[in-house]
Amino acid sequence: MLLSIREQNFTKEVLGASTPVLVHFWAPWCGLCRIIVPQLHQFQDNWQDQVKVLGVNADQSLKLASTYRLQTLPTLILFDNGQELHRLEHFHGREDLRRTLDEFMQNHQNRSSSVSLSTHEYLSLEA
């Protein structure tokens, strides 16, 4: 089972996290929510310390469900530095989910490395 959080610790665990966080909004009655949990574990294993995967029971966290305007479950949202980067509400099978999650992280890595490179180049020009 994924580590589950509530509204009370969402700000600290998600918005204040030093690494990207993939939040799995789910509900106990949602069969598809349960089916994708092994894929989410695999995703977390593949990306290890580069991403944290957390679950939020949308039925018990109505304020978060409203804040993030959940229209369907499961909904996966990737946060970084307190900002929503990507949202996944519809997917077609396990392979589609795996590919989409890996693309999220690859895009994030590319964006992060280009920012670092730009900063380094800027600093070199200043010296």
Catalytic residues: 30, 33
Strands 83-88, 75-80: pairing kind: antiparallel
Question: Rounded to an integer, what distance in angstroms lies between the CA atom of residue 120 and that of residue 66?
Answer: 40
Question: Are 63 and 117 spatial neighbours (Cβ–Cβ below 8 Å)?
Answer: no
Question: Are 71 and 89 spatial neighbours (Cβ–Cβ below 8 Å)?
Answer: yes
* Residue 98 host element (H or E): helix 94-126
